[in-house]
Amino acid sequence: MPDLSAQPAGQQAVVIPALNEEIAIRAVVSAALTHCATVIVIDDGSSDNTLAQIADLPVTLIKHATPQGKAQALLEGFGAALNLGCSGVVTMDGDGQHSADDIPRLLAVAAQYPRHVVIGARLRGRDNAPGGRRFGNDVADWFVSWTAGQAIVDSQSGQRYYPREVLELAKNLPHSGFVFESEILIEAAEHGIRTVSVAIESRYQDGRRASHFRPFADVMRITRMISWRLATGGFRPGNYLRARREPPIVVE
């Protein structure tokens, strides 16, 4: 069990991309504010009442006139955090699938594992996830782990802690959409920054909007990005062996 009083040095921020999240966004942002004074919300061109739901909350708000995708939303949130001098950020989705109560756990593990990306891995109640999502996540984990040279658990989770060094690396990544969140783990690994996972609940309640993640189409895009990296890197046999032989780092 991590020491929940521990945190990485410096100011932290919570970054929340949001697209048409009027049902959940106020509760998500309010809960995040109880754990972190700096919350950055990127409204990615919502056509509903997402903005109105958080208009009175003390957040840094970035608005897109039209949807530009999750990757661009995250990049702008990272840029705002860097400009504020933050040493790292926690990311959360705006639909309520992530609990802000896990923020202290992610930060405590980040303090325990410097120069690591910390993933909130949806291991608790994993059987509640739709079968297509589980299959897509498993395939993505296999390929991301091979390319990164480390066994990674739940490479598609959007609840993460990124240290400042990774926020800087993210500026130069070419891909968008959900590919971005896989590629950032691989790029970090190429700079000696490893990944540790923290077990969180898998939440798929009724009434939430449909996920923006498309198991087939997005996994295919992730696979294409990884195939290119593997092909240009000589298929990285050493990485493959390390990912298969060494167990993932998972904190319960």
Q: What is the domain partition of the chain in residue ranges?
A: 12-251
CATH of domain 12-251: 3.90.550.10
Mean local confidence (pLDDT), 164-179: 88
The DSSP 8-state label assigned to residue 248 in this structure reads: P
Q: What is the DSSP letter of 238?
A: H
Percent of residues, the chain, with pLDDT higher than 90: 77
Q: How confident is the model at residue 23 (pLDDT cuts 50, 70, 90)?
A: very high
User: What type of residue sits at position 224?
Assistant: R
Q: Is the pLDDT of residue 215 over 70?
A: no
Residues in the chain, total:
252
Please give the order of strands across the beta sheet that includes 194-201.
Answer: 60-64, 39-44, 12-18, 88-91, 160-163, 116-124, 194-201, 250-251
pLDDT band at 208 (very low <50, low <70, confident <90, very high): low
Residue range 41-56: mean pLDDT, rounded: 98
Identify residue 251 by its one-letter amino acid code: V
The vertex-124 CA angle with 29 and 96, nearest 5°, equals: 20
Q: Which residue has the tokens 């046999």?
A: 237
Residue 205 in this model has a pLDDT that exceeds 60: no
Q: Which amino acid is at 67?
A: P
- pLDDT reported for residue 209: 56
Which residues, other chains included, contact 28 with Cβ-Cβ below 8 Å and sequence gap of 6+?
A: 16, 21, 92, 93, 94, 95, 96, 98, 100
